[in-house]
Amino acid sequence: MGPIRGMKRKRRQEKKAEKTAAAAAAAALPGELGQEPADWWDDFSKRITGALSTSKGFDSFESVFKISRKTFNYICSLVKEDLMSRPSNFTCTSGRPLSINDQVAVALRRLSSGDSLLTVGQSFGMNQSTVSQVTWRFVEAMEERGLHHLRWPNTKEMETIKSKFEKIRGLPNCCGAIDTTHIMMCLPSVDPSNTVWVDYEKHHSMVLQAIIDPEMRFRDIVTGWPGSLNDFLILQNSGFFKLCEKGMRLNGNKMELSEGSEVREYILGDSGYPLLPWLLTPFQGKDPTASKAEFNKRHLATRLVAQRALARLKQMWKIVQGEMWRPDKHRLPRIILVCCILHNIIIDMEDEVRDQLPLSHQHDSGYRQQYCSFSDKNAHASREKLSQYLFGGLPP
């Protein structure tokens, strides 16, 4: 088992990928890279069989895939080269070869619906093994070609992010919100090796930790760790934690609150995280002072963006929403990563279809709030000054 660290460094590939992305986004004519033939959907929709073809509400491209044609075309353009470079004999049960668009459609349906291989195969007229292989090849291609959509912001982007966070509820110099969610798994309890995956709610699960920007975009993720580990341990074992502790991340300009008082860059986390100079958590305890209560209120309203992003991820990519039946624990982190990349692509493409989905912040239903008692003394002072500043208690 190897955790996927969201900020993998693939510098040599990133420039090439960005050029490909720009070219694909600019393409507007049918037949250009990433653009499906004009009659592709008409033809493909006629081949959809079973319950999907007769279900009310599944009579359009958007209703089946929950994304726009523009976004679909762009995703095809990303993976086209990789899928074409590896010869395959993928066919429908009728013997008809699967085009690149067909393969992307099958993979996206599998990831977005969460339906079984059998159900997806029956709907699209192909056997289970074909659905499985097509989906996995798509996942591999997206890991390589789509990772530039999931990266830590540069200095200019960070200034925009901080400005947008401050507009939510006034928190200055905030760079992100961190949260975790559990990907449920159905594993045989009789196998002693599976106990490591049992979390504090007695479910088998894999954890996804994510840092999110104000537009609900994933900026850094870590996944692959078992549910038995708490939020603090997962954070400590992440590359992000090590970079912050070395002063290589969240090391931008400090913001002056008043004369002699300033606040550094930081992210927000709930009470399951430690209070650190670069990670601010809510004040704990009963009957907080007015300034502390005000800070907690603003803190919660601002970090709701992380809860909503994780809820949207599970809502959109239902393969990670329910309880997965005996998943391959080595492949699952890579599937989660690709779902996060696809989540970001939809935001980057300004896909209007996403706005039709209801907005929720419930992503870990049935899980109680964790609490971490660890706190840094310097972070205590920074949080106290920030709370007083927000309450109007600091001198000018």
Find, among 291, 263, 290, the residue nearest to 279 by Cα.
263
Residue 285: both structure tokens together: 């305890």
Cα 29 to Cα 261: distance, rounded to the nearest angstrom: 56
So where are the chain's domains?
11-148, 152-390
Quote the DSSP letter at residue 355. Answer: G
Cα 153 to Cα 213: distance, rounded to the nearest angstrom: 9
Cα 340 to Cα 210: distance, rounded to the nearest angstrom: 9
Beta bridge partners, 39, equal none
pLDDT given for residue 63 in this prediction: 85
Cα 36 to Cα 348: distance, rounded to the nearest angstrom: 20
Cα radius of gyration (the chain): 23
Instruction: Tell me the Ramachandran region of residue 302: left when phi exceeds 0, alpha when psi lies from -120 to 50, beta otherwise.
Output: alpha
Beta strands in the chain (DSSP E): 4-5, 174-186, 205-212, 218-226, 255-258, 261-263, 266-268, 279-280, 324-325
Residue 213: both structure tokens together: 């920007």
Grouping H, G, I as helix, E, B as strand and the rest as coil, residue 219 is strand
Cα 291 to Cα 23: distance, rounded to the nearest angstrom: 50
DSSP per-residue string spanning 221-275: EEEEEETTS-HHHHHHTSHHHHHHHTTSSS-S--EEEETTEEE--EEE--TTS-B
pLDDT given for residue 24 in this prediction: 43
Residue 271 contacts residue 283 (beta carbons within 8 Å): no
pLDDT given for residue 393 in this prediction: 66
Cα 133 to Cα 88: distance, rounded to the nearest angstrom: 10
Find, among 218, 214, 187, the residue nearest to 340 by Cα.
218
Grouping H, G, I as helix, E, B as strand and the rest as coil, residue 115 is coil
Residue 382 has φ and ψ, to the nearest 5°, of -65, -45
3-state secondary structure 264-299: CCEEECCCCCCEECCEECCCCCCCCCHHHHHHHHHH
Quote the DSSP letter at residue 370. Answer: P
Could you tell me the pTM of the whole model? 0.89
DSSP per-residue string spanning 126-157: --HHHHHHHHHHHHHHHHHHSGGGS----HHH
Grouping H, G, I as helix, E, B as strand and the rest as coil, residue 173 is coil
Q: Chunk the chain into consecutive blocks of 10 residues (it has 396) and report each block's average pLDDT, rounded to whole numbers.
A: 47 45 38 53 78 60 90 97 87 89 96 94 93 97 97 97 97 98 92 92 96 98 97 97 97 89 96 98 93 96 97 96 91 97 97 82 90 95 94 68
In the chain, the N- to C-terminal Cα span, in Å, equals 53
pLDDT given for residue 57 in this prediction: 56
Quote the DSSP letter at residue 49. Answer: -
